[in-house]
Amino acid sequence: MTLSAWFFPGIGLLIFAAGAVANADVLLGWSKGMRAARREGRHVSMAMFVPGVIGAIAMWNGPLPWMPKWCWLPLLLDVSCIPYVFLMLLTPQSKDEPASAEVVPESSIVPVRTRHPREASQAEVDAVAGCLLGTAIGDALGLPAEGLSPRRQHRLFADPARYHFLPFGYGMCSDDTEHTIMVAQALIETAGYARAMGDAHRFRANLAWRLRGWLLALPAGIGWATLKGILKLWLFLPARWQGSYSAGNGPAMRSALIGVFWHDDPALLRLHVEASTQLTHTDPKASQAALAIAVAAARAAQQAGGVDPVAFAAEMRVLLGEAGQALADLIDQAADSVRAGQSTPAFAAALGLERGVSGYALHSVPVALHAWLAHPRDYRAAVLAAIPTPLRP
């Protein structure tokens, strides 16, 4: 046996050890930093299965004769593998479950509806088409800047109004657009049932199957919370155990179309936003952020851009209630900033996001709402305001 025989197995075991310790910190909260992140509601991630699988492969190819017999041990020692699957099956959902999942008094149950699906007006058809196209165009323009600081983004892509992701001036959409298309397909197939019965059960089931199939296509861009949520869908767990406790902006990125589609029915709008959110994210802040985007899209469709920032902020404070006070305060700040004539990058900097807006819902959603409220009738200006650019000194 030579040292060269240990080269690749040794690297694999080192990666396994580092990943297993990191995953245990995420799940068990060993370090102060991880505990603080959970208290503050910040997103924490776990590399599902990766360290354990790498460790198992390293053991299988180890130079010692006993190592292949124990290749299953890394899968047990890494909490993101076998232990996590058992925890998902045995652990009920967090007590911080959104209010919509609470038991509803029998006296407040909405009766079965008798109205039939109505014909959509041309304005509604245009609004839905505009939402789909607007999502795709903004997604393709902003995708190259994702994860970059405004200064670095500006150095790499001086003109944010052009596509930069692919050669020859072409752009590419990400999971934002793909999720919006899946939502559109689920709405088309289940809207009649939802109008008749007054619930979003079929929509949730339909969207769940689309998300399962989407994951099988090995998407290039996917958040950890969304990944864990869809893996739970593939385990066919009960609804109360689905989703991952995270306040990422995944549900918010696919909720605009729900707002445009159900602009005439606030109850169904809220039910569909909640159904879409709970499939992948169970932190109440994720539901609140998705609701804010859906209502904003509904108001934009209804009022053709004539939205008063202060009135919108006041409406959202009522809709979000006491549980959503943190987001309501941020929307108030956005409305005040728009009235003061502050730019969107300056507003983001005032929130401490001068180096770029993260995927945390309480970061991305207020900034997106600010860009819209500052340019309610100018789609181009609103999209470019949301793409990070360095502030002038």
What is the percentage of the chain residues whose pLDDT exceeds 90?
A: 49
What does the mean pLDDT of the chain come to? 85
Contacts of 95 (CB under 8 A, 6+ apart): none
Distance set, CA 134 to CA 129, 139, 173, 299, 303 (Å): 8, 8, 11, 16, 17
Q: Using the 8-state DSSP alphabet, how is residue 107 labeled? A: G
Q: What is the pLDDT of residue 91?
A: 53
* Residue (of 136, 138, 135) closest to 384 by Cα position: 138
DSSP 340-364: TT--HHHHHHHTT-TT---SBHHHH
CB-neighbour burial class of residue 271 (10 A; exposed 0-12, middle 13-18, buried 19+): buried
Q: What is the pLDDT of residue 79?
A: 85
Q: Using the 8-state DSSP alphabet, how is residue 93 labeled? A: P
Structure tokens at 363: 């970061």
- At residue 360 the predicted structure's pLDDT band, cuts being 50, 70 and 90, is very high
What predicted TM-score, i.e. pTM, was given to this entire model?
Answer: 0.72
User: What is the C-alpha separation between 244 and 26, in angstroms, rounded?
Assistant: 13
Length of the chain in terms of residues written: 393
Query: Is the predicted pLDDT of residue 345 greater than 70, yes or no?
Result: yes
* R_g of the chain computed on alpha carbons: 23
Q: What is the pLDDT of residue 88?
A: 65
Per residue in 280-313, pLDDT (tens digit) is 999 999 999 999 999 999 999 888 667 899 999 9
Vertex 204 angle, CA 218 and 210, to 5°? 25
Query: Is the predicted pLDDT of residue 99 greater than 50, yes or no?
Result: no
Query: Is the predicted pLDDT of residue 44 greater than 80, yes or no?
Result: no
DSSP 210-244: HHHHHHHT--S---HHHHHHHHHHHTT--GGG-SB
Q: What is the pLDDT of residue 46?
A: 65
Per residue in 128-180, pLDDT (tens digit) is 999 999 999 999 999 988 877 778 887 888 788 899 888 888 999 999 999 99
User: What is the C-alpha separation between 47 and 227, in angstroms, rounded?
Assistant: 10
Least confident residue range of 89-103, 263-277, 299-313, 315-329:
89-103
